[in-house]
Structures are given as structure tokens and as C-alpha cells.
Amino acid sequence: MKRRKSLFLHLSNIRLLAKKFALVLLFLSAFALMLVNKTDTAIIEKTSSWATDVISPIVDILVVPARSIAGVYDYLKELKQIHTENDSLRKENAYLLQIKDKALALEVENRILAGMLNYIVPPEAKFVTARVVAEEGDAFSHSIVAYTGDNSNIRKGQVVLSDRGVVGRIEQVGRFYSKIILITDINSKIPVMVERTRVRGILTGNNTPTPKMDFIPLEAELTVGDRVVTSGVAGVFPVGLPIGKISSIEKNNVKITTFTNLERLEYVRIVDFGLLEQQ
């Protein structure tokens, strides 16, 4: 027991001496550093410069991965932004293309309607402009269907015109739609004449784009290119409406090329010249 107690006291004395020695050593170190700092600043500066030269490359090397990661992050962020902008531009471009298509369609429609205004309807005549909605072309008939709306003034037999000449006549009248028999239909027969020589005949449809002119006098003087117009005979069509021009003459087979392309009709004008009321 006595031996343990004396050992404990001996260790306590050693610890106390160590603490005192540490305090003295710390004080001397601080004093030495202060003395060196005051007496030789060149040593401190050289040491600092050397530390800077050694540590700076290490810091640069360590910073490279961080810079790379930051660069990749910025690149991915820009890619996402570009993708978003491209998607927005694609949608905007598709919308603009739709507007362009609508504008072109309206431009064509306005041009067609403006062309139809070139034909001056006589003061006593009344007319309705109608849109073509269907075609009925086969080996037995050439006709179209137009939307005439709820119009009580549309009647069978009325003349149908385009911006360039005669198209046909009303064949059937419905509540909202009317059937128009074209001048190329095999059942169509229109009294016509050659504008230059006043030679008369009958324009007969044959279900082809080039109807023929029948019942022409043998001594008639005809030339390719002569204009053919309505003669006004029989009181169905008024006189002077343009039909087409002579495209070929082979004995009694005189073919007429119509002024209007009957295969590309979009709008027609249904004209009431008042002739039906006189019959």
C-alpha cells in the first residue's frame, strides 16, 4: 500500500514538472518567433515565397477537376436551354407554316374572286356566287355540285359562268346545293356562233375537255383560233357570252377549246338574265 502511494506521488510530481516545462518551452518559442520576425524579415519572406511556389502548382492541379466538372455542368445546362429553345422554335415554325398555308389559300381565293369581278353582268341580270363542292365526271356525264345556300332565286336552266366564260347551266336545285351540267356534258347543247364571221351552230358536249360545234353550214369560213360565243338563239343563253375558241377543223368535226378550265373550278357565278320568265 505504501509503495503504491509513493508511486502515485512520484507520477504527480513528474506531470507537474512537464506542465511547467511545456509552458516555459511555449513561451520561449513564441519569444524566438517574435525575435526572428523583428530581426530577420527576409527569412520569413523567403519562407513564404517558397511555400507559395510549392503550394500554388498543387492547388492548380487540384483545381483542374473542379473546373472540368463546372465546365461540364455549364455545358449541360446550356444544352438543356438550347433544347428548350429549339422545341419552342419548332412549335412556332409549325404555327407560322399553318398561317402561311392559310394566307396562300386566301390569296388564291381572292385572286379567283377578283377575276370573276372582271365580268360585268348586265344591269337587268341578277347573280349569285357559289362555291364548287363536288365533281361528277365519268363516261356518261360531266357535272359539278355547288353550294348555293338557302337561296330561293336559284332555278333550273339558269346560266352558270366563271371569270372567263360559260361553264354550263343549272340542272337540279336542292335546298342548299345545286347540280350544274357543264358545257362538255354529252347532254349539253348550246346555240353558238363564230364571233368573226357570225356563222351559227350548236355547241355539243361529248364528255371530253373539247366539245364540238355541229350544224355548221358547208360554206362557212372557219379558222383555227376564231372565238366562239353564245348566239342567243332559243332564248336560253343571251347573245355574246364567251365560250372558247376553235382548236381544230377536220371536215365537219370542229373542236372547241373552252376559255375556262372546267376541271379546276372553285367558284362559279349563277346568273339570272330573266330569259326563263319570258318562255
| DSSP code at position 208 | S
pLDDT at 56 > cutoff 60: no
Residue 84 has φ and ψ, to the nearest 5°, of -65, -45
pLDDT at 2 > cutoff 60: no
Sign of the torsion formed by the C-alpha atoms of 258, 261, 262 and 268 = negative
In the chain, where the domains are located: 50-117, 126-278
pLDDT at 172 > cutoff 80: yes
Give this prediction's pTM.
0.58
Contacts of 129 (CB under 8 A, 6+ apart): 113, 116, 267, 268, 269, 270
Sign of the torsion formed by the C-alpha atoms of 204, 205, 211 and 212 = negative
Of 61-75, 239-253, 262-276, the one with minimum mean pLDDT is 61-75
| Average pLDDT of span 98-123 | 61
pLDDT at 151 > cutoff 90: no
Instruction: Tell me which CATH code domain 126-278 carries.
Output: 2.40.10.350
| Average pLDDT of span 105-112 | 62
Which pLDDT score is estimated for 72?
A: 73
Which pLDDT score is estimated for 149?
A: 86
C-alpha distances in angstroms, 226 versus 141, 145, 243, 244? Answer: 27, 31, 11, 9
Contacts of 124 (CB under 8 A, 6+ apart): 273, 274
Contacts of 153 (CB under 8 A, 6+ apart): 126, 128, 272
Which pLDDT score is estimated for 233?
A: 85
Whether residue 177 contacts residue 147, with contact meaning beta carbons closer than 8 Å, is answered with yes
Percent of the chain with pLDDT over 90: 33
CA dihedral 249, 254, 259, 265 (to 10 degrees): -130
Percent of the chain with pLDDT over 70: 62
Of 29-43, 99-113, 121-135, the one with minimum mean pLDDT is 29-43
Identify the bridge partners of residue 250 per DSSP, sorted by sequence position.
253
